[in-house]
Structure 1
Amino acid sequence: MVMHMSFSVVIAGASGYAGGETLRLLLGHPDAEIGALTAHANAGTRLGAHQPHLRSLADRVLTPTSVDELAGHDVVVLALPHGASGEIAAALADRGDGALVVDLGADHRLTDPAAWRAFYGTEHAGTWPYGMPELLHAGEATPAAQRAALAGARRIAVPGCNVTAVTLALQPGVAAGVVDAGDVVAVLANGYSGAGRSLKTHLLASEALGSAQPYAVGGTHRHIPEIQQNLGVAGAATVRLSFTPVLVPMSRGILATVTAPLAPGVDAASVRDAWRTAYAGEPFVELLPEGDWPASGATTGVNSALVQVAVDEAAGRVVAVCAIDNLVKGTAGAAVQSLNLALGLPERTGLSTEGVAP
């Protein structure tokens, strides 16, 4: 018999993509009770005007995002713009609110304040336990330390979506020492929802359909220091990363192709074993059979990461590919997965790996 522990949850930023997707998953969570739903510019409007697919809550009115509105819940999910979570989280702490706070933004992901200032331009709000249960630590063959760090946590920083795809693609090779992290090249095909819900000309359908366009090229993307941080945790002494995201005409999804040199003296035939060992038994990361390659559409709406690896012997490089849904495994699914661990619930609760097709 499975015992359930109900918890109340408030979503700050419920009118956005990340907030809406977290709300969709929590509506299917057997232990979650939906509390307040807040917004900034959209406060006072019906949720159904922004999330028309969430029919059971369509008539709920969004309230202003304030500490008073967030307080009193067991779980607070902050689906806010980067730079907005730190102040609210600090105010909750100051008033002694004991809620589990889950930040979907970048404010608490980085451990290096200098890296935060360099890429975000403000003062660092501090570092929280990192919400990627599958993150490998140096010396680990399979993930364990990160799950231990999340068990009982009261603060969780959910990873960036691109970061999740690149990390899950390459980290087994780094942890096993079969790749050289000093020359990592990552090119990602990204769905448009990753750019947020703001109205910008280049995000209009008339501009985007039938076209692919890179962005944040030349080492400027804010996810770069977070990827470097993760590969360092996995054991890389030095991480040099060329990272190029490309918007492609799909609403959601990421397909990350990541390459790195084969480490000196490593037998190419043994490379796959590192990925097989790392992800054996993982509920949400699957190494596909040899010859099968990930497709972003196979992860739509679910908390799955599909991974494949091969060795380009002529180039002397390992090629790793990872597909995820940027809004689920890349954001909301990781949040639910991590809060399950923090609350002592089974990690899979409320999360599915069965996708939708076509």
Structure 2
Amino acid sequence: MTGTTSVKDLFTKNLRTSGIYIAFVVIVGLFAILTGGTSLSPMNVTNLVLQYSYILILAIGMVMVIIAGHIDLSVGSVVAVTGAVSAVLVIKYDMPWWVGVLAALGCGVLIGAWQGFWVAFVGIPAFITTLAGMLMFRGLTLLVLNNTSLSPFPEPYRNIAAGFQNGLLGGAGYDVFTLVVFALAVAGYFFSAWRTRRSQIAYEQPVVAFPLFILQLVLVAAVVMWFAWQLASARGLPNVLIILAVLIIAYSLVTTRTVFGRHVYAIGGNLAAAMLSGVKVKWVNFGVMLNMGILASVAGVVFSARSNAAQPAAGNMFELDAIAACFIGGAAVTGGVGRVTGAIVGGLIMAVMSNGMQLMGVPQSVQSVVKGLVLLLAVAFDVYNKRRAGAR
């Protein structure tokens, strides 16, 4: 007989995954109160998406690296060098904007392959390889830019990160197209959740009680459509949010529905068992590092488009924000555990905290202390969960 999961079970057995969403809601509510509602204004919500999109893109790649049991310290420098290459071609040599984008992505592929070779086939730990990469690619950024900034980019390039889809379906004071897109997304989520539930019942797996299942759907729909209304009431659907949504969906499928994704989890969970099971560990590790290079180059394009410039100091400390987003989002320090959606929520928590403290006028030094404490508590929570599971 198929069992059901109670509210208590939902928050105890799935605390690693459900706790992060609860924390996110609490933090959003807290800063809404502290800022007098300013943090939830349509314009601020839109700016939040634009300002932190590149960190979320990096977090998608970083969570796969961490799941595999590695770490990548070079992504901030890769963001800088790929943006610099794009700027030199588009601004200095007056090439079409798309040439700069393709060149940046090509650099990301080469960098990912370079680091993947040393990690996977030579056997140098990713920590050391990417630490060397952080220094190398920062130096290459200075060489490419000749230690100066380049700006501005042409409008089509800027629109990658600063453009909006607005007015396609009309609307008085709000954008109908944005609302329709999000409504379709909610419908897709409902359909997927319903199919998953039916599959679990068919295989006699425990499922959440039906009233609680409906409550979850209603809460998700309410939050998503509120977010859609905020965007629609401001400037419409940001182009960068479309890019981010495509990446989230694609990598969620890769990590949960593909052989490659299962092998990444297997390597991070138990390397010896994965090797005995026939997993091609070297090629999977190579793929993980290659993928990180590609996503870092995407973030480089988005960041340079958002900044409307390529700067020698671009991407500074981005790797730490991306790593923090993954750990706050539930990734395990030892590998084998983590989700793309968790990393995104972890990144949003960092974004909401940073944005809220900026609105409150909190000094940068205090902001760093707060974010450091949140990261430490997230990792401590992971360690506590493992000890509790081991004691059972």
Compute the TM-score of the two structures, normalised by the length of structure 2. Answer: 0.27
* Greater share of helix: 2
Of Structure 1 and Structure 2, the greater strand share is in 1
Bigger-Rg structure (1/2): 2
How does the TM-score come out when normalised to structure 1?
Answer: 0.29
